[in-house]
Homo-oligomer: A and B are copies of this chain.
Amino acid sequence: MAVYTQVSAEDLGEFLTRFDVGELVSFKGIAEGVENSNYLVETTQSRFILTLYEKRVAADDLPFFMALLDHLAERGQPVPPAIPDRTGREIHELCGRPACLIKFLSGVSVSHPTPAQARAAGQAMARMHRALADFEPARENTMGVDHWRPLFERCGKSLNDIVPGLYDDLGFALDDTVSAWSADGLDSCVIHADLFPDNVLMLGDRVTGVIDFYFACTDLRIYDLAVALTAWSFDATGHRFDKAVADALTTGYEGQFPLNGHERSQLLTCAVGSCIRFTLSRAWDWLNTPADAMVTRKDPLAFWRRAKVYDPALARLTTCA
């Protein structure tokens, strides 16, 4: 959420001469994305997002992400592909960082989604999953179910510094969820894996863009839906569940790409799993970010509280309040 690498007007003007995009008119560093530096760039022809990839996105993964965006864009999905330069190249280097010039999409990210907006997001996700049926590249979900226990152990007893008892309680939920988890008979494809409202651009109730694919990976399509349910259907603290939003998201999805009975029965396990995944990643960041650093630490318990709503059995745990 910051600009880590400063690009000068002179360097950017020179960089743009590789492309057939006109001349630089304006650029502003924007506070967006995970740990990349982003600029909104205007030329005499159009507008673009310039992304410089900082350490969190592995340069080796960029060809996968760019192929994914190209595949989706070619099939009419509202995603922002990279702009090729005059030689067809999409991945460049600028100021010592891998860099892509990316299509600009209109729309805003809503903070308090309505059911109609959630339905549109569910539909957009289902259409993407359909469009990816013939996408061959794969990428491991490095934040997937097999990675939760190692991350949990790396956090260790320090979890109790967030709230006393969290290590035991989260360990219990983790055991429970991992043993209930099975991919048998469930569709996999490349999924977004981080479809929070932040990553969906909308105009009114219409999806105009799906962005920030840097967690995209091969996993269960119901896990993608579960992440979105967890992200869209609660207030920011994770206390209050909005059933109308959750229902709209699911029916929106199923209207475009129905789930089978087995998938429906496994959706709850995936939903609790998504709570564990975000609790763990936020807990790790929380424990490894100095309290006085000028970045906002996101509350890990906001996702732990969601788990209780999904699974009343977890409500008995004292830390899940």
Interface residues of A (CB under 8 A from B): 1-3, 8-10, 12-13, 24-32, 40, 42, 106-112, 201, 203, 290, 292-295
| A26 CB contacts on chain B under 8 angstroms | 106-108, 201
| A294 CB contacts on chain B under 8 angstroms | 2, 293-295
Sampled A-B contacts (27; CB under 8 Å): A1-B3, A2-B2, A2-B31, A2-B294, A3-B31, A8-B110, A8-B111, A9-B109, A10-B110, A10-B112, A12-B108, A13-B108, A24-B108, A25-B107, A26-B201, A28-B28, A28-B30, A28-B31, A28-B40, A29-B30, A29-B31, A29-B32, A30-B30, A30-B31, A30-B40, A292-B293, A293-B294
A106 to B42, CA, bound (A): 9
Residue from the set A9, A13, A293 with the largest chain B CB neighbour count within 10 Å: A9
Min distance, Cβ A76 to any Cβ of chain B, angstroms: 21
Known: A8-B110, A9-B108, A10-B110. 8 other contacts (CB 8 A): A2-B31, A8-B111, A25-B107, A25-B108, A26-B106, A26-B108, A28-B30, A293-B294
A22 to B109, CA, bound (A): 18
A106 to B27, CA, bound (A): 9
| A203 CB contacts on chain B under 8 angstroms | 25
A30 to B113, CA, bound (A): 24
Min distance, Cβ A106 to any Cβ of chain B, angstroms: 5
| B40, A9: Cβ atoms closer than 8 Å | no
| A290 CB contacts on chain B under 8 angstroms | 292
| A112 CB contacts on chain B under 8 angstroms | 8, 10
| A9 CB contacts on chain B under 8 angstroms | 108-111
The 8 Å CB contact of A25, one of B31, B32, B106, B110, is B106
Min distance, Cβ A193 to any Cβ of chain B, angstroms: 23
Closest B residue to A114 by beta carbon equals: B10
Closest B residue to A11 by beta carbon equals: B111
Closest B residue to A289 by beta carbon equals: B294
| A27 CB contacts on chain B under 8 angstroms | 108
A40 to B109, CA, bound (A): 14
Min distance, Cβ A50 to any Cβ of chain B, angstroms: 12
| A25 CB contacts on chain B under 8 angstroms | 106-108, 203
Say whether, besides A31-B31, A42-B106, A10 and B293 are in contact (CB < 8 Å).
no
| A32 CB contacts on chain B under 8 angstroms | 28-29
A26 to B203, CA, bound (A): 9
Min distance, Cβ A33 to any Cβ of chain B, angstroms: 11
| A1 CB contacts on chain B under 8 angstroms | 3
Min distance, Cβ A241 to any Cβ of chain B, angstroms: 20
Closest B residue to A13 by beta carbon equals: B108
| A10 CB contacts on chain B under 8 angstroms | 110-112
Closest B residue to A23 by beta carbon equals: B203
| A111 CB contacts on chain B under 8 angstroms | 8-10
A110 to B28, CA, bound (A): 13
